[in-house]
Structure 1
Amino acid sequence: MSSLSTEVLTMKEFDMEQVRVTDEYYVAILEKDLNYLLSLEADRLLAGFRAVSEGKDPKNASGLNLYGGWEGSWSLLRGHTLGHYLTAMAQAYKQTKRSHPNQNLQINQTLGYVVGQLKSFQNKSKNGYLFASPEVHFDIIEGKATGDNWVPWYTMHKIISGLVDVYKYTGNSDALLVAGRLGDWAYNRTSAWDSSLQKKVLSVEYGGMNDCLYELYKNTRNIRHLAAAHKFDEDSLFTAIGNGSNVLENLHANTQIPKFVGALNRYRTLGEAESFYLNAAKQFFYMVLRDHTYITGGNSENERFRTPGKLDSTRNNINNESCNSYNMLKLARELFKITGDIQYADYYENAYINEIISGINPETGMTTYFKPMGTGYFKLFGTETNSFWCCTGSGMENYTKLNDSIYFNNGNDLYVNMYVSSELNWAEKGFALTQSTNIPLSGNVVFTVGMAPVSAINIKFRAPYWIAAGQNVSITINNIAFYPVKKNGYLEVNRVFKAGDKIELNFPMEVKAERLPDNPNAVAFKYGPVVLSAGLGTEKMVSAGHLASAKATIPQGVLIKDYILIKEKSVDAWIANIKNNLVQKPGKLEFTLKNTDEDNRLKFTPHYRRYTDRYGIYFNLSAIDSPEFQEGIKNSKNAAKKVEATIDEIQITNDQHELVHNLQGNSSGGSFGGYNYRHVHGKADGQGWFSYDLNINPTATNYISTKYYSGDAGRTFNVHVDNRLLVEETIQAKNPTGFYEVRYKIPKDWLDGKSKITVKYSNRGNSYVGGVFDTLSILKDYSSNARLKSIIVSGKEASVTDNSYGGYVEREEDYGDIKITPEQNNALVYVNNILIDDKAIRRLILTSDIETLNIKVVAEDGTTKAYTLTITKAVRD
């Protein structure tokens, strides 16, 4: 065990009472968050804890008046919200001390009541256990009991963290006492783990248990709390990441990020002897930014890190879980405090604006779970009392600490990291400063000194990464030009100040384009620190369930154009001329395109302010009919047909998916070739097996669909539906270098009267089952409809005889505008062997009086029909 030492820090944060945000937009969302917190009923958040202290299981107990969503009786995450609530309220206590005395008193009284209740519940326990579900759930994780489970240590992390934060921010000693007894309980349980059991427990999401126990130890100095924290340090993962190996592919993102926040806290707590953990945290941060991060600073697809660098191929409606950004900001903040490295401050600003500020509805105060990077989706916000997602809880915290990372100091120097209108009172130095800015509308920032000591103060202003290329920040002091020293990315102003001094900085800004590594034609735009997005309408903004949360959708019939056709020779040339191709409207934060097919139509504005409509951040830039353009259409339609055909789907080895779908058996999971898999070995028939429960549609033809790997050729196993043998499968070497998909048709009479089936895989002989890769889906038939709905020529519907269409243009015209629409949305339409976008009007240059086009429509299932369109130049009747 490491020797004890003082916490390692280069930078110090200011007490939240010393910094007040005055930006109108930020103040408004803080008020929304405060009002929401104060609207919640403490007793309803405590109901599960009270029931457990009385020997009841909230899952079955009646009359508890639990909240809904993830706090409901069905949920095994019940209680996590109270932890977030405690932290958010403790931060709110600090925020309101000077500005909202009545709210501050109410917050303090509420926290006192909640902590007092928790203490009384805990006193009924012999071992210090305090939770909103019975302790047996921790036994299940250890394999000492059986039953349903989710992630109990994850929830325990929230509770301990919340209690410690109440103590740190309000001085409530009972909060530390209750947290300390929970720390003792954690020690008593974890000290019995051998390495095998530790590995088993840590294979299930446990949040930042290491982090909260290190934080607890710093406040209790109880060696048992330190020992318990060490039990949650996943050294094998830290070693791999620290050595530069990106082993994150397909891992649950928000399971991993808090582990590294905890690793960093070990270093902060115990000092230089633990530099192994600092290195792991640095490497992890670098990998996530390099390989997994979108322009907004967010990451993940369906809560997972995907193949490094594969970002365009995973853009959809379930990107950028909000909790991920919440935790990445924690990591960046602490790395900055330790190293002083500006890269962490740069990331913090980006994700703070474009993920966190972007993630709240300014009218309701509700927050997002996902932030889609797929073009055409929208931000979907939770509800006040019936969501309580993980991201609802972290959202409570986000907006009560908007002031905690604007300024830092190292004991002598003041660091200005963010340009947000605010006030700083550095009482220890007798120095007060007011910042006033309207970035990004202009690059002007004014700092006014309120009071100053007789000695010099060295202010270090961060020189942001987004400054216009080839230009410098200009600074004046009391209207006189000042030429600062630039050191480690900061502009230094070191002098004796006096009250009333004004420091004015002007940051030149410009539009910049960012491209995705796996598709350099997928482009997004920023202006200064803000990501830009274009509004794409409000038609049918319908949500759908996504496990225990929800997601935005694009219903059939909603037409989204996710590409922009450029008039330059290449995408490189268009981007090189971005200053002239995305132009700001004078005096407004609004930008329109030039030299494209969308000139002056799409309006790009700051994405963090968008919350009422569909949007596009990334668009594919291409020349019309280029191979890339056609491939994009095909990929988009193929993805849509899979989504529309899906009745139910399991993400293999996703613990939430597999819990909901009742995974049974004796299998194991892993990751290979960019996909997660599940397999099992048996020495005799049926010894190795696993099964899932999946929904079906008894009125449709149902198929089981999954992927196999050709490298597993020869493995032989059975696939059962409700204990009836469906197929004897042997994996084939169909594609020796990769994967292939299979679909098994389920006999219709097997599904009569059912809405759900059990799909079971079991081995034959001495063989493995699977691997079953990526997803296991129940699909309905792909459509065989290759018919055309209509062809419009220059605004008029073409005539049709059998499969031949005819249309007319005015004789004097040398072009015709055509619109070809298939009956089925996802059918592919080819004109003269070129795949076209059937959602768009296509201009055809006519070189003769009569031209005939060959049209081919390919249905979802590959059915093909051929048509012709003859366009005649004539004087119309």
Structure 2
Amino acid sequence: MRLLVSVFFIFSVSLQAAETAKIHTVPLSSIRLTDGPFLHSEQTNLQYLLALDADKLLAPLRREAGMKSKVESYGNWENSGLDGHMLGHYLSALAFLGSATANQQIKARLDYLLTELQKIQQVQQGYLGGVPGSKALWQQIQQGQIEADLFSLNQHWVPFYNIHKTFAGLRDIYLHSGDQRAKNLLFNYGNWLKKLVKNLSAQHIQQMLLTEHGGMNEVLADMAVIFDDPDYMALAKSFTEVRILQPLLKGEDKLTGLHANTQIPKVVGIARIAELSGDKAWLKAAEFFWSLVVEQRTVAIGGNSVREHFHPKDDFNPMLNEVEGPETCNTYNMLKLSMLLYRQTGQSKYLEYYERGLWNHILASQHPEHGGFVYFTPMRPQHYRVYSKVDQAMWCCVGSGIESHSKHGEFIYSLDNNALHVNLWIASRINTPQIKLQQRTLFPDEATTELIFEAPSRLKLQLRYPSWAGVVRLWRNGKAVEVTAKAGEAILLSGPWQQGDRIKLELPMQLSLEAMPAKPDYFAVLFGPIVLASRSTPFPNESLSFVADDSRMGHIASGPTCPVSAAPLYIGDSKNFLASLQRLPNQPLAFGTGQGFLQGQPELIPFFRLHDSRYQIYFQHRSLELWQQQKALQQQQDKAAALLEDQTLDKVYPGEQQPESDHFYQGEHSEAGVNAGRHWRHSKSWFSYQLNHKGQQNLTLRLEYFGLDGGRAFEIWLDDKKLTDVELKSGLGPDWYSVDYPIPNDMLPKNADHFRVKFVAKPGSIAGGLYQVLLLKL
């Protein structure tokens, strides 16, 4: 423990001279969770981590090194192009949890992994990755042969995103344990990277950065400090994508249509570079990004994005209608960004968001029993989530999930030169040379917290006065203390403190309504910062699987959707709705709803406690007259949507990262972009997707085009058979339209449940653009 603490403070001191901020996070080794849902989450995650097989995670790296593997790798994303990414997440999670618990099994697992990584790195001359075909790929990159698409670099699935996880994992092990083996591995890996890009121009690197690359700029900035090497800071800046940075520096919102979690880690890196360099312009750019996301594109739980992309900030219809709602990885990274911005500015809004996202999205994304993780959390009324299975699902949100639930203590407290900041109300103990203190609380079931000094201290206490709290009351050793601070500010208490001194804080929580952005007729119900939701059972005797299978798209809850028009809604004044809520007895935190609801009588509980069920977070409220006027139209739209859903065997949204990778996109000289909020893809050569026909016959391929692309000519192929020639009509105007292409049964493969549809441009023309690809049964 002494080693862990000393390493952290050596690292902190080395940063302080360069940082403009004087607020520092407290090392996980100095924090222990003592009670409550976050302790339960941490313990559940411990079992999940130990259930993972280290040799299976190492298998892709051993394969690329030409070494014999003891076992085969995991499946799912771990053997379909993103091979090895989970190992990096696993290293970080072990580092965090080992520091947070001092668990010996975790330590032993880390020891084994570091020993094996040393063997692999010796063979690979510094490289540590499982990217399929690594040798040829990195040789091409080193020689400046770069073909970059949104998620494909030289026909490989996001290789820099992949290896970033291992860079970050080694960094985290060193920073949280001081293990010199991790530092040496990171040093060698860094030298490999320097050699890789040594002869590349700035233009080459920016071209590479078109492909998702994780937070490479962040980890490189950290390496500049770890190794006291300014070359890494220069590299961190060169790995910062200008296409994202420049609009932010100018105060321009260019986020609509972009893949959300591709951008957030880049801005985490921008904020980290600003913290280390004192660059105020870069800090302002990161703050502007945060405001664009949190204040304009975020729903009540703290999450953002639909189908992984930022939709227009004035159109939240996709959030209500799609089943692929906020992605958990996004919030994982937004919490990192919020912590970085709070350290540099001290602004309470970053704490407020952190609390909201931690309780209502991160905590809610882990199953409290088997520990599985959620990818998408739909806001569509009465839909549901699916959870990972430890030996099958290897999604990105599993990787960020095992990290998140290993470090719940990282931002409960922070320190400046004079005070301990108490940021979150979570039962815990802090033990640093400056202060030893225990926080006892049953929040949010009870609205109080008590701080008990376990040793004398001269530090001041800075207690957050949340904006959601009513009139706060405070007692010092049993005596009432007048609180002059206001909601959104901080309560500052001076020492010195003696062992046994107690501070009791009462934080009255109130019920409130929060409208969905750009949808003022839909609201979420909160109790303090806690989002409430209701279970839903719209289909009698329904049997759903809430554990995902191991298929490429198993992370999507693809069961039947419920008509939006059939969801419970409130008729009348929203003020009367709040007044009608009654807290239910004999339950930790639950509310019954009164009169005014149609189509159901919801019972509201904290969303983080709602699992294995359909649910509803947002409720529509209307006048009875307006609802009656609109219900017929909504029912008609629901009926049409349900019919199309029933006909659809498979679908691709061209130009959107995950749908394309899930359908094994391939292509040459292809481009993707956004037109009026709609994604598209076209090519001067060809591009293709794998579609699953599920053994069905009598099929139709439905393609969606844009009217101003008239005159383009291309061919459509199914595997090695040409389906048809296409020439897009001219003179249709700036709107979208669809064309159906029947597929003869004799063109379907006889021994496979999938085929590859390929779009090939005619000489001098362009294939596409395509806005949607649907495979329908007639």
Give TM-score, length-normalised by structure 1.
Answer: 0.79
Is the contact between residue 650 and residue 661 of structure 1 (CA under 8 Å) also seen in structure 2?
Answer: no
Is 1:286 the counterpart of 2:291? The answer is yes
Is the contact between residue 570 and residue 620 of structure 2 (CA under 8 Å) also seen in structure 1?
Answer: no
Is the contact between residue 652 and residue 676 of structure 1 (CA under 8 Å) also seen in structure 2?
Answer: yes
The one-character-per-residue Cα deviations of 1:640-675 (angstroms, maximum 9, x if unpaired) are 333222122122123443343442232211111111
Partner SS for 2:596: coil
Q: Trace 1:70-85 onto structure 2 (pairs within 5 A).
A: 70-71=77-78, 74-85=79-90
2:318 to 309, 313, 319: 313
1:708 to 705, 710, 713: 705
1:66 CA displacement: 2.1
Is the contact between residue 547 and residue 656 of structure 1 (CA under 8 Å) also seen in structure 2?
Answer: no
The one-character-per-residue Cα deviations of 1:212-242 (angstroms, maximum 9, x if unpaired) are 1111221012344333323311123111123
1:713 CA displacement: 4.1
Is the contact between residue 541 and residue 552 of structure 1 (CA under 8 Å) also seen in structure 2?
Answer: no
Is the contact between residue 661 and residue 692 of structure 1 (CA under 8 Å) also seen in structure 2?
Answer: yes
* Alignment correspondent of 1:486: 485
Which of the pair has more CA radius of gyration?
1
1:369 to 375, 397, 406: 375
Residues 143 and 439 (structure 1), Cα distance of their counterparts in 2 relative to 1, 3 Å cut: same
Residues 283 and 332 (structure 1), Cα distance of their counterparts in 2 relative to 1, 3 Å cut: same
> Which structure has the highest helix share of the two?
2
* Alignment correspondent of 1:654: 656
* Alignment correspondent of 2:557: 552
* Alignment correspondent of 2:679: 676
Hey, what's the Cα distance between the residues in 2 that align with 1:520 and 1:780? 38
1:698 CA displacement: 6.7
Is the contact between residue 263 and residue 281 of structure 1 (CA under 8 Å) also seen in structure 2?
Answer: yes
* Alignment correspondent of 2:189: 182
* Alignment correspondent of 2:421: 415
Is the contact between residue 10 and residue 340 of structure 1 (CA under 8 Å) also seen in structure 2?
Answer: no
* Alignment correspondent of 2:523: 523
Hey, what's the Cα distance between the residues in 2 that align with 1:84 and 1:168? 15
* Alignment correspondent of 1:446: 450
Partner SS for 1:512: strand
* Alignment correspondent of 2:615: 615
Is the contact between residue 372 and residue 378 of structure 1 (CA under 8 Å) also seen in structure 2?
Answer: yes
1:359 CA displacement: 1.1
* Alignment correspondent of 1:129: 127
Is 1:156 the counterpart of 2:160? The answer is no
Hey, what's the Cα distance between the residues in 1 that align with 2:108 and 2:694? 53
> Which AA in structure 2 matches 1:112?
D
Partner SS for 2:409: coil
1:730 CA displacement: 2.5
* Alignment correspondent of 2:461: 459
Is the contact between residue 678 and residue 771 of structure 1 (CA under 8 Å) also seen in structure 2?
Answer: yes
Is 1:641 the counterpart of 2:646? The answer is no
* Alignment correspondent of 2:5: none
> Which AA in structure 2 matches 1:486?
A
Partner SS for 2:420: strand
Residues 602 and 412 (structure 1), Cα distance of their counterparts in 2 relative to 1, 3 Å cut: same
* Alignment correspondent of 1:166: 173
> Which AA in structure 2 matches 1:777?
L
2:244 to 230, 237, 247: 237
Hey, what's the Cα distance between the residues in 2 that align with 1:752 and 1:150? 27
Is the contact between residue 300 and residue 524 of structure 2 (CA under 8 Å) also seen in structure 1?
Answer: yes
Partner SS for 1:368: coil
> Which structure has the highest strand share of the two?
1
> Which AA in structure 2 matches 1:185?
W
2:364 to 346, 358, 362: 358
1:63 CA displacement: 6.3
Residues 674 and 600 (structure 1), Cα distance of their counterparts in 2 relative to 1, 3 Å cut: closer
Bigger Cα displacement from structure 2, 282-291 vs 640-649:
640-649
> Which AA in structure 1 matches 2:635?
I
Is the contact between residue 213 and residue 226 of structure 1 (CA under 8 Å) also seen in structure 2?
Answer: yes
1:254 CA displacement: 1.3
1:299 CA displacement: 1.3
Partner SS for 1:451: coil
Is the contact between residue 363 and residue 608 of structure 2 (CA under 8 Å) also seen in structure 1?
Answer: yes
> Which AA in structure 1 matches 2:221?
Y
Is 1:50 the counterpart of 2:48? The answer is no
Hey, what's the Cα distance between the residues in 2 that align with 1:400 and 1:513? 32
Is the contact between residue 186 and residue 228 of structure 1 (CA under 8 Å) also seen in structure 2?
Answer: no
1:298 CA displacement: 0.9
Is the contact between residue 568 and residue 601 of structure 2 (CA under 8 Å) also seen in structure 1?
Answer: no
> Which AA in structure 2 matches 1:64?
V
2:282 to 277, 283, 288: 277
Hey, what's the Cα distance between the residues in 2 that align with 1:731 and 1:196? 38
Residues 747 and 67 (structure 1), Cα distance of their counterparts in 2 relative to 1, 3 Å cut: closer
> Which AA in structure 1 matches 2:186?
A
1:586 CA displacement: 4.2
Q: Trace 1:812-831 onto structure 2 (pairs within 5 A).
A: none
1:697 CA displacement: 6.1
Partner SS for 1:124: helix
> Which AA in structure 1 matches 2:136?
V
Hey, what's the Cα distance between the residues in 2 that align with 1:116 and 1:225? 26
The one-character-per-residue Cα deviations of 1:176-217 (angstroms, maximum 9, x if unpaired) are 111111111111112222234223311111111111111122
Residues 751 and 130 (structure 1), Cα distance of their counterparts in 2 relative to 1, 3 Å cut: closer
Is the contact between residue 698 and residue 751 of structure 1 (CA under 8 Å) also seen in structure 2?
Answer: no
The one-character-per-residue Cα deviations of 1:143-180 (angstroms, maximum 9, x if unpaired) are 46997521111111110111111111111111111111
* Alignment correspondent of 2:233: 226
Hey, what's the Cα distance between the residues in 2 that align with 1:63 and 1:416? 47
Residues 693 and 35 (structure 1), Cα distance of their counterparts in 2 relative to 1, 3 Å cut: closer
Residues 365 and 689 (structure 1), Cα distance of their counterparts in 2 relative to 1, 3 Å cut: closer
What is the RMSD computed on CA atoms of the aligned residues?
2.8
* Alignment correspondent of 2:743: 746
1:410 CA displacement: 0.9
* Alignment correspondent of 1:857: none
Hey, what's the Cα distance between the residues in 1 that align with 2:756 and 2:54? 41
1:253 to 260, 263, 280: 260
1:564 to 549, 565, 568: 568
* Alignment correspondent of 1:116: 115
Residues 548 and 222 (structure 1), Cα distance of their counterparts in 2 relative to 1, 3 Å cut: farther
> Which AA in structure 1 matches 2:253?
N
Hey, what's the Cα distance between the residues in 1 that align with 2:571 and 2:368? 38
Hey, what's the Cα distance between the residues in 2 that align with 1:602 and 1:307? 31
Is the contact between residue 413 and residue 422 of structure 2 (CA under 8 Å) also seen in structure 1?
Answer: yes
Is the contact between residue 672 and residue 680 of structure 2 (CA under 8 Å) also seen in structure 1?
Answer: yes
Residue identity (%) = 29
> Which AA in structure 2 matches 1:640?
A
Is the contact between residue 34 and residue 428 of structure 2 (CA under 8 Å) also seen in structure 1?
Answer: yes
Unaligned runs of 5+ in 1: 57-61, 98-102, 569-573, 682-687, 782-877
> Which AA in structure 1 matches 2:138?
F
The one-character-per-residue Cα deviations of 1:696-718 (angstroms, maximum 9, x if unpaired) are 36744322223222333454555
Bigger Cα displacement from structure 2, 747-756 vs 18-27:
747-756
Partner SS for 2:162: helix
* Alignment correspondent of 2:38: 26
Hey, what's the Cα distance between the residues in 2 that align with 1:757 and 1:44? 30
Is the contact between residue 258 and residue 310 of structure 2 (CA under 8 Å) also seen in structure 1?
Answer: yes
Is the contact between residue 485 and residue 492 of structure 1 (CA under 8 Å) also seen in structure 2?
Answer: no
Is the contact between residue 466 and residue 529 of structure 1 (CA under 8 Å) also seen in structure 2?
Answer: yes
Kindly tell me the number of residue pairs found equivalent between the two proteins: 742
* Alignment correspondent of 2:9: none
Partner SS for 1:550: coil
Is 1:731 the counterpart of 2:729? The answer is yes
Is the contact between residue 465 and residue 490 of structure 2 (CA under 8 Å) also seen in structure 1?
Answer: yes
Hey, what's the Cα distance between the residues in 2 that align with 1:476 and 1:275? 40
Is the contact between residue 569 and residue 599 of structure 2 (CA under 8 Å) also seen in structure 1?
Answer: no
The one-character-per-residue Cα deviations of 1:456-508 (angstroms, maximum 9, x if unpaired) are x43221111222xxx42122223332123427611222343333333222222
Residues 635 and 465 (structure 1), Cα distance of their counterparts in 2 relative to 1, 3 Å cut: farther
1:401 CA displacement: 0.9
Hey, what's the Cα distance between the residues in 1 that align with 2:523 and 2:37? 28
